[in-house]
């Protein structure tokens, strides 16, 4: 336990000195920040002693749950032995090398090399550069354009925010940068019109073909997407979508990049999201669940196709971070993966708690304000609807999402809202009764929406 004296005016200090990510600081300072002090299992505790069931695993990342002393031990041991050394000049450290091997062992055969970063955003910048140097090394320096999706999320660096399809992020930074293009997202509920989900999946996948034709196949380096869009609202693509996308990338000879930052490390009941959808990416950024958030670490998993060129043709790749493969973070990630393996958490999500969660979550579809309640593994979304029959949505989606979220939080369950979609992404260790609590609290919040807002 932390014996430091309790500081009573932290909120005031925070307002005076701390600029928060993705926050309206004026609003936040007026309201005051919530101070989270400790956590155990799936529960977090704030400075008033109030307990919350964190159905969002921090920020999609605490896959093994809170309070894992063995990860702290692994980090401490490594910090005492060797707190830092780099991997730039012909050196490495045991945890970095062993972590690369460990990750590769779960990729299913063809992604055998890892380039380490400190975050998902840096992983995005890294594969973006790898995709371009790959084609250049193959004598195709004009293959530089990258296609991504509207409402995708790939991080907050300049490349990350550019590749992401978030309008508000673009507006604040004169983004996207040159060479980045966006196509539509497979969001059937909002954009599918009269098409069946499967028809719509094919339609939006064909936008990739059209965009490649428009730009010219010889100019396109890569297409990137999350297996399931996370921050965009847990948008689960129709079954037809991914196979068609994979065929297009193959036929047109462009690299397929699967952003595994959320979907990796068990979230969908597979080690990686691309395995769930049965596709084979050429590059795959990872972060979040790699260390369950205990320490910051990310990376890019690189296929043999790309790695062979990097290793044999490229010469030096002028790219790297001081902390690429940081030994303490790598040691924590190794212990995190050991836990996932030894406790069979991937299989648990696939065969046990995932199906249980799916059924409990789906039961919300009988609610008057729920248009759809879908999930894969432990990643779920509830689509709010003003009129279920016509798929009509509330006129102020952000407001009603916030209303439902706040109701949940006040009642001790942390969920997230993206617009009018309520999102859950709990630790892979969540119990059945904890799933029941989440669904019950969300149902109460939905009642509150129905009773207070006229559709």
Ligand X SMILES: *Cc1c(COP(=O)(O)O)cnc(C)c1O
Interaction site with ligand X (CB under 6 A) = 60, 119-121, 124, 153-155, 226, 230-231, 259, 261-262, 287, 298
Q: Of 116, 103, 42, 115, whose CA–CA distance to 340 is shortest? A: 103
Query: Of 121 and 437, which CB lies nearer to ligand X in the complex structure?
Result: 121
Instruction: For the CB of residue 138, give the shortest distance to ligand X in the complex, in Å.
Output: 27
In sequence order, what are the beta bridge partners of 299? 116, 286
Instruction: For the CB of residue 153, give the shortest distance to ligand X in the complex, in Å.
Output: 5
Instruction: For the CB of residue 6, give the shortest distance to ligand X in the complex, in Å.
Output: 30
Q: Of 68, 67, 55, 39, whose CA–CA distance to 337 is shortest? A: 68
Tokens 């993966």 belong to 337
Query: Of 286 and 384, which CB lies nearer to ligand X in the complex structure?
Result: 286
The Cα–Cα gap between 219 and 380 comes to 37
Task: Locate all alpha helices (DSSP H) within 82-137, ordered by sequence.
Answer: 94-105, 120-137
**Structure tokens that stand for 112 in this block:** 């055998």
The Cα–Cα gap between 415 and 446 comes to 13
**Structure tokens that stand for 360 in this block:** 């409990």
Count other Cβ atoms within 10 Å, centred on residue 441. Answer: 21
Query: Of 124 and 336, which CB lies nearer to ligand X in the complex structure?
Result: 124
Q: Which residue is nearest to ligand X (CB)?
A: 120
Contact 183, 215 (CB under 8 A): no
Instruction: For the CB of residue 231, give the shortest distance to ligand X in the complex, in Å.
Output: 6
Task: Locate all alpha helices (DSSP H) within 296-352, ordered by sequence.
Answer: 304-312, 327-342, 345-351
Query: Of 301 and 314, which CB lies nearer to ligand X in the complex structure?
Result: 301
The Cα–Cα gap between 404 and 451 comes to 12
Contact 106, 264 (CB under 8 A): no
Query: Of 22 and 89, which CB lies nearer to ligand X in the complex structure?
Result: 22
Instruction: For the CB of residue 229, give the shortest distance to ligand X in the complex, in Å.
Output: 8
Beta sheet of 413-414, edge-to-edge order: 36-40, 43-46, 51-54, 413-414
Exposed e or buried b per residue across 217-232, where buried means at least 16 C-beta atoms within 10 angstroms of its C-beta: eebbbbbbbbbbbbbb
Count other Cβ atoms within 10 Å, centred on residue 55. Answer: 27
The Cα–Cα gap between 398 and 327 comes to 41
Query: Of 107 and 124, which CB lies nearer to ligand X in the complex structure?
Result: 124
Query: Of 232 and 371, which CB lies nearer to ligand X in the complex structure?
Result: 232
Whole-angstrom Cα Rg for the chain: 22
Instruction: For the CB of residue 263, give the shortest distance to ligand X in the complex, in Å.
Output: 8
Find out whether the peptide bond into 383 is cis, omega within 30 degrees of 0: no
**Structure tokens that stand for 329 in this block:** 């973070």
Q: Of 71, 154, 126, 46, whose CA–CA distance to 329 is shortest? A: 71
Query: Of 259 and 420, which CB lies nearer to ligand X in the complex structure?
Result: 259
Instruction: For the CB of residue 361, give the shortest distance to ligand X in the complex, in Å.
Output: 20
The Cα–Cα gap between 152 and 418 comes to 12
Instruction: For the CB of residue 180, give the shortest distance to ligand X in the complex, in Å.
Output: 15
Query: Of 165 and 298, which CB lies nearer to ligand X in the complex structure?
Result: 298
Query: Of 155 and 377, which CB lies nearer to ligand X in the complex structure?
Result: 155
Instruction: For the CB of residue 176, give the shortest distance to ligand X in the complex, in Å.
Output: 15
Instruction: For the CB of residue 223, give the shortest distance to ligand X in the complex, in Å.
Output: 15
Query: Of 42 and 166, which CB lies nearer to ligand X in the complex structure?
Result: 166
The sign of the CA dihedral 317, 211, 238, 162 is positive
Q: Of 134, 106, 143, 183, whose CA–CA distance to 309 is shortest? A: 134
Instruction: For the CB of residue 371, give the shortest distance to ligand X in the complex, in Å.
Output: 24
């Amino acid at each position: 336990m932390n014996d430091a004296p309790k500081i009573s005016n932290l909120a005031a200090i925070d307002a005076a000195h701390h600029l928060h990510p993705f926050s309206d600081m004026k609003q936040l300072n007026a309201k005051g920040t919530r101070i989270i002090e400790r956590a155990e299992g799936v529960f977090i505790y704030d400075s008033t002693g109030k307990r919350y069931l964190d159905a969002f695993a921090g920020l999609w990342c605490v896959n093994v749950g809170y309070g894992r002393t063995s990860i702290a031990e692994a980090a401490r041991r490594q910090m005492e032995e060797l707190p830092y050394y780099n991997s730039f000049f012909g050196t490495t450290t045991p945890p970095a090398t062993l972590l690369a091997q460990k990750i590769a062992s779960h990729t299913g055969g063809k992604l055998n090399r890892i380039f380490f970063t400190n975050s998902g955003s840096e992983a995005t910048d890294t594969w973006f550069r790898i995709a371009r140097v790959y084609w250049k090394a193959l004598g195709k320096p004009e293959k530089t354009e990258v296609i991504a999706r509207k409402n995708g999320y790939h991080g907050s660096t300049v490349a990350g925010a550019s590749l992401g399809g978030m309008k508000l992020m673009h507006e604040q930074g004169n983004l996207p940068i040159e060479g980045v293009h966006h196509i539509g997202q497979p969001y059937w509920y909002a954009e599918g019109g009269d098409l069946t989900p499967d028809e719509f999946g094919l339609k939006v996948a064909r936008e990739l073909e059209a965009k490649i034709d428009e730009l010219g196949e010889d100019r396109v380096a890569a297409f990137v997407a999350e297996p399931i869009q996370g921050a965009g609202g847990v948008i689960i693509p129709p079954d037809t979508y991914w196979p068609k996308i994979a065929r297009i990338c193959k036929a047109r000879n462009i690299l397929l990049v699967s952003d595994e930052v959320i979907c990796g490390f068990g979230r969908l009941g597979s080690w990686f999201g691309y395995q769930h959808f049965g596709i084979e990416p050429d590059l795959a950024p990872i972060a979040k669940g790699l260390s369950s958030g205990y320490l910051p670490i990310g990376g890019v998993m690189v296929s043999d196709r790309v790695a062979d060129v990097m290793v044999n043709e490229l010469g030096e790749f002028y790219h790297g971070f001081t902390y690429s493969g940081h030994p303490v973070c790598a040691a924590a990630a190794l212990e995190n993966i050991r836990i996932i393996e030894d406790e069979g958490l991937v299989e648990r999500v696939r065969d046990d708690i995932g199906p249980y969660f799916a059924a409990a979550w789906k039961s919300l579809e009988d609610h008057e304000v729920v248009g759809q309640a879908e999930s894969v593994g432990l990643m779920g979304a509830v689509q709010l609807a003003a009129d279920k029959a016509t798929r009509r949505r509330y006129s102020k989606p952000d407001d009603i999402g916030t209303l439902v979220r706040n109701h949940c939080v006040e009642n001790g369950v942390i969920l997230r809202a993206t617009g009018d979609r309520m999102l859950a992404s709990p630790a892979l260790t969540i119990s059945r009764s904890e799933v029941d609590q989440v669904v019950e609290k969300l149902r109460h919040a939905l009642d509150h929406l129905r009773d207070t807002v006229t559709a």
